Amino acid sequence: MRRIKSRERLVFKALSNDVRRRLLDLLAAGERHVAELAREVESSPSLTSIHLGGLRRAGLVEARVDAKQRFYRLKGDGVVAAQAFLDHLKNGNGAGNGAKRPKLEPARGRA
């Protein structure tokens, strides 16, 4: 059995958590401050930061630091790469059909 690649594992682990999916949904509306996100998901800022770190490692969000405050936004290419992989599966293009699957590695140098 083929091992799941590291990036794929991180993306699916990030998406398997309800709080992380809710954070992604909130960030779809635009950049948000950690404290604001924490209030929205009814969690502490520190636990919210841990969840956001998982999303960042998966390539789904990125952070911007302004003084001592941290703001997060969706990382477009990471989300697009994850969507392309899911579309690949949805369309019946699995490896058993000989289809080449898209990579989850986001393009370098793009936000």
C-beta separation of 52 from 72 below 8 A: yes
* Average pLDDT for 44-50: 96
C-beta separation of 73 from 62 below 8 A: yes
Domain coordinates in residue numbering, the chain: 6-92
CATH topology of domain 6-92: Arc Repressor Mutant, subunit A (1.10.10)
pTM (two decimals): 0.74
Percent of the chain having pLDDT more than 90?
Answer: 47
Q: Per-residue DSSP letters for 3-56? A: PPPHHHHHHHHHHT-HHHHHHHHHHTT--EEHHHHHHHTTS-HHHHHHHHHHHH
Q: Pick the range with the lowest mean pLDDT from 8-12, 14-18, 54-58, 69-73.
A: 8-12
CA distances from 67 to 31, 48, 111 (A): 16, 19, 21
